[in-house]
Amino acid sequence: MSELLFHILDYMTILPAAVMCVLPVLDHSKIKPRVLLPVMSAAIIVSAVLLGIIRELLAVNANAPLFVFLVPAATLYFMAFDVKKTKLWFIFISTMAVFSFGGLATHIVKAMTDPGSEFAIELLAKWLVSLLFLLGEIVFLKQLRWLLENDNINAVCRFIWAVPVIVTAANIYMIPQNYANVRVGRIFQLYIMVEALFAVFFIVILIMLYRTAKAITDKAESEQNARLLGIQAAQYENLKKYMDSTARLRHDFIYMAKTAQALAANGKTAELQKLLHDYGTDIDSNATPPKYCEHTALNAITAYYASEAKEAAITLTARLNVSQNIIISDYELCSVAGNILDNAVAAAREVKGRPAQIVFVADTKPNGDLYLAVSNPYNGIIKKTGKKFTSTKSGGHGIGLESVKAIVDKNNGYCNFHYDGKTFYSEIMLRQV
């Protein structure tokens, strides 16, 4: 009975492993967490009892029934969460790698002590290592969730899973066949050092993955910021040209008026008409840049996408009531507006057979909240992974919306993206308090 209890408690370390798999993706569960967690815990306890009985009755290696259990466990895991399978596989196989260190800890204890001694110390070592890794995940859970939410690591996850596979295989290979051999000379010290290096190697790989994704994201944000600044600079340049041209027109008006007076006095009607026509054309070519609102940065980015829409024969109607004196930074406001307008124009370009019209509305409420809404036609194709929109470029509505959500969360606001088969709606509220 004591051996059976040991085997059951040994397999019970599946529970903290399952928690490590679930915590990073809990927000994407298809099952409510208050239902998922108790059911998962009960299923693992029952499984641990069955695995312990099988191991005791058949006298098989501890890993044999465990690997059989992992197949249905992995299948259910992939079915329970709305996350890309490459990411779920990386989490699952990484958790196996982490808990292989706990399994090896039991053999290290056996090598240090009498292999026929009580099981309690071995079991305690395995649980301590397992719980230590679980604690580490809890401490860095925010960074891990950010990493999994970030689409920049999709390509990396397709091949980096090989690292935890190698670590797991190496730990299994490191299980001693004869504990007496481990205690010969300096072999035990080398054994411990190699295992420590494996653990450090795996942790460094995870840190590098996070820092790489962070660097890629920061670079993308910098490029977006530079693009927004470029749009504003172009609009300011257009405004400067307009001011210069109107100053010239005011200067030339005196001479034009005198010429027109002379032509009229001499009865040269045709020449007078041509003079007035040419002057009117000159004025039209230097038309006033559009002014949608008092906020210069938002006005600039709206003018830019209005110009983009016009070139694509798309009507963009903007009704903006946003003053210059708002708390939200120019970058955040223009990032939100730029992303949804960019998606709207891209999606409207794909619409065939009917007029395309985009409506952009922004309004500052008396309490300081800023509301933005965009409606645009689209070709009926929407790509989503779970609750997230994925990039369709050229159809729009892709990764930019995740950037919008991040800014909205930072400003304690909310956003809602929905569609009805013909029109895509983006509704955003940003708080200024």
Domain residue spans in the chain?
Answer: 2-184, 224-285, 296-430
Four-point Cα dihedral 151, 152, 153, 158, nearest 10: 90
Mean pLDDT in residue range 342-351: 88
Is the Cβ–Cβ distance between 49 and 8 less than 8 Å? yes
Say which residue, 24 or 61, is predicted with more confidence: 24
> Rounded distance, CA 266 to CA 272, Å?
10
What number of CA atoms fall less than 13 Å from residue 376's CA on the CB side?
A: 29
Say which residue, 6 or 433, is predicted with more confidence: 6
315, β-bridge pairs: 357
**Predicted pLDDT of residue 334:** 80
**Predicted pLDDT of residue 174:** 83
With b for 16 or more beta-carbon neighbours within 10 A and e for fewer, the 366-392 pattern comes to: eeebbbbbbbbbbbeebeeeeebbbbb
**Predicted pLDDT of residue 395:** 43
pLDDT digits (tens, 9 = 90+) for 41-99: 999 999 989 988 888 888 777 778 888 888 899 999 999 998 888 888 889 999 988 88
CATH match for 296-430 among 3.30.565.10, 3.90.45.10, 3.50.30.60, 1.10.3660.10: 3.30.565.10
Q: How many residues does this entry show for the chain?
A: 433
Q: At residue 114, does pLDDT exceed 80? A: no
> Rounded distance, CA 396 to CA 389, Å?
10
Burial class from Cβ neighbours inside 10 Å (0-12, 13-18, 19+) for residue 15 reads middle
Is the Cβ–Cβ distance between 358 and 309 less than 8 Å? yes
- Binned at pLDDT 50, 70 and 90, residue 397 comes out as very low
**Predicted pLDDT of residue 398:** 46
Residues 6+ apart with CB under 8 A from 262: none
Residues 6+ apart with CB under 8 A from 156: 209, 212, 213
**Predicted pLDDT of residue 139:** 92
> Rounded distance, CA 157 to CA 83, Å?
13
> Rounded distance, CA 115 to CA 264, Å?
118
- Binned at pLDDT 50, 70 and 90, residue 396 comes out as very low
Q: Which H or E element spans position 372?
A: strand 370-377
Q: Residue 358: left if φ>0, alpha if ψ -120 to 50, beta else—which one? A: beta
Q: At residue 393, does pLDDT exceed 80? A: no
**Predicted pLDDT of residue 20:** 92
